[in-house]
Amino acid sequence: MRVNLRVRRLDPEAAGEPYVQSYSIDAPESATVLDSLLQVREEVDGTLAFRCSCRSAICGSCAMRINGVSRLACKTKAIEIAPRGQGIDVEPLANLPVVKDLVANMGPFFRKLRELTPWLVPDEEHPPEREYLMENKRALYLSQFVACIQCAVCYSACPIVDIDNEYLGPAALTKAFRYCYDPRDHGRGQRLARVAREQGLWRCHTVFSCMEQCPKGVDPTEAIQQLKKMVIYRRLGLSR
Amino acid sequence: MYKPVDAQFQARAMRTGTAAWLLQRLSGIFLTIYLITHIIVIGTSVRGEDSFDDLLSTFDKAPFLVLDAGLLGIVAFHAVNGLRLILFDFAIGLRYQKVLFWAAFVVAVGVFVGSLIAVRNLL
């Protein structure tokens, strides 16, 4: 099967403008876009830069924009998006600085994630005498948010991050919700205070791009709206 | 082989949620402009009865009545989609966002067509 890739490239050392380079290769029908990129790098052009690791949608390294949609290259079959061998546009993630070719600088993304204490804050004063218990229902509801692999697809898909670069973004807010909703956590108040600001929660305009493009079936819009509800209930004194 | 592209080029997939978001903003801008025009037109009444009647007789003609039907359609879309967004702020119906968008769209088209029929009866 013929796979035609149109890759958006940038060589920072040449200090030039980004440009599009086309590659045409013969790949097996089962080839994903990542397989095709690897084949290009091995057989055609060794200078093509991109990140990848697990090749099975677990590590989240190969997130990029394919035909304008942010997705994992390893989870996207070439034949499915270009059944007649049409050109496939491959670009680096949006809303992040480009290091080289398809490699985005994930710095801003992880900085915002870290800002919201993405871990369980223990109750130091009253440590539990036995294990924490969580209802089945709550654990099941939380599991979809736990499934986030931090690939930054949602961050790249969000048009609001494009407009306001300081907006925390869907991934960080989802992580904040995941811990705020966990009954074992005691950092809720502090975390909610940090997200309840203009460039936090309230910047989300429910465009649903994050939800529609997430490769792991996480629903960041739901998490953000639940956080909004938490903040409002707290301000009204209806919850802790 | 090489084709230069705009440095700021960012292709975006247009899906239902994005379309709803854009339409809400565009209709909002349109309604603001309409409101200003409306105030100016109504404002001519302070210059006296005749100037107001003169202006209104222009807006009584068929093309403007059709535009009025369009205006009602846009108002209907903006209002119903606005209700959809208020529901989302209470985390209600997030899973049905596409259906709710199309519901707002159908209501808007319904109001537009209904107003067109009413306009035809007026003429």
Residue A89 C-beta-side C-alpha neighbours within 13 Å: 16
**Over the stretch B79-120, which tens digit does the pLDDT of each residue have?**
999 999 999 988 899 989 999 999 999 999 999 999 999 988
Residues 15 through 74 of chain B touching chain A, CB cutoff 8 Å: 15-18, 20-21
Asked if A20's CB is within 8 angstroms of B2's CB, the reply is: yes
Tell me if B12 and A159 make a contact (CB, 8 A cut-off).
yes
Q: Indicate if A54 and A113 belong to the same structural domain.
A: no
**What's the CA gap between A33 and A27, in Å, rounded?**
10
Mean pLDDT throughout A63-75?
94
- A95 sits in the region (left: phi over 0; alpha: psi -120 to 50; else beta) called left
Which DSSP category does A77 fall into? B
A19 contacts B15? CB cut-off 8 A: no
Over the stretch A106-140, which tens digit does the pLDDT of each residue have?
A: 999 999 999 999 999 998 888 888 888 899 999 99
Identify whether residues A119 and A225 lie together within a single domain.
Answer: yes
Measured CA distances, A140 to A136, A160, B76, B120 (Å): 6, 30, 39, 57
Question: A93 with A131, same domain?
Answer: no
Total count of domains within chain A:
2
Residue A213's domain comprises: 107-235
Q: Do B17 and A162 touch (CB under 8 A)?
A: no
Q: Which amino acid is at B22?
A: L
Residue A34: helix, strand or coil by DSSP?
Answer: helix
Mean pLDDT, range A173-181, rounded to an integer: 96
- CATH code for the domain of A180: 1.10.1060.10
User: Band of the pLDDT at A14, cuts 50, 70, 90?
Assistant: confident
Q: B1-53: per-residue pLDDT in tens? A: 333 343 334 456 678 888 899 999 999 999 999 999 999 999 988 888 888 88
Mean pLDDT across A5-32: 91
- Indicate the SS3 state at residue A104: strand
**Same structural domain, A32 and A135:** no
Dmax (CA) of chain A: 64
Does B7 contact chain A (CB < 8 Å)? yes
pTM: 0.87
- Does residue A240 belong to any structural domain of this protein? no
Give the C-alpha distances (Å, rounded to integers) separating A71 from A38, A67, A156, A181, B97. 17, 10, 9, 27, 21
Give A20's contacts in chain B (Cβ within 8 Å): 2-5
Based on the domain organization, do A8 and A98 belong to the same domain? yes
Average pLDDT over residues A10-31: 90
A31 and A44 within one domain: yes
Give the residue from A81, A104, A127 where a domain finishes. Answer: A104
- Residue A19: what pLDDT? 92
Q: Which of A21, A65, A94 sits opposite B2 (nearest CB)?
A: A21
Predicted pLDDT at B2: 38
ipTM over 0.85 threshold: no
**Best to test chain B binding among A155, A218, A225, A233 (most B CBs inside 10 Å):** A225
Query: Is pLDDT at A189 greater than 80 in this prediction?
Result: yes
Type of residue found at A206: T
**To the nearest whole angstrom, how far is the Cα of B71 from the nearest Cα of chain A?**
24
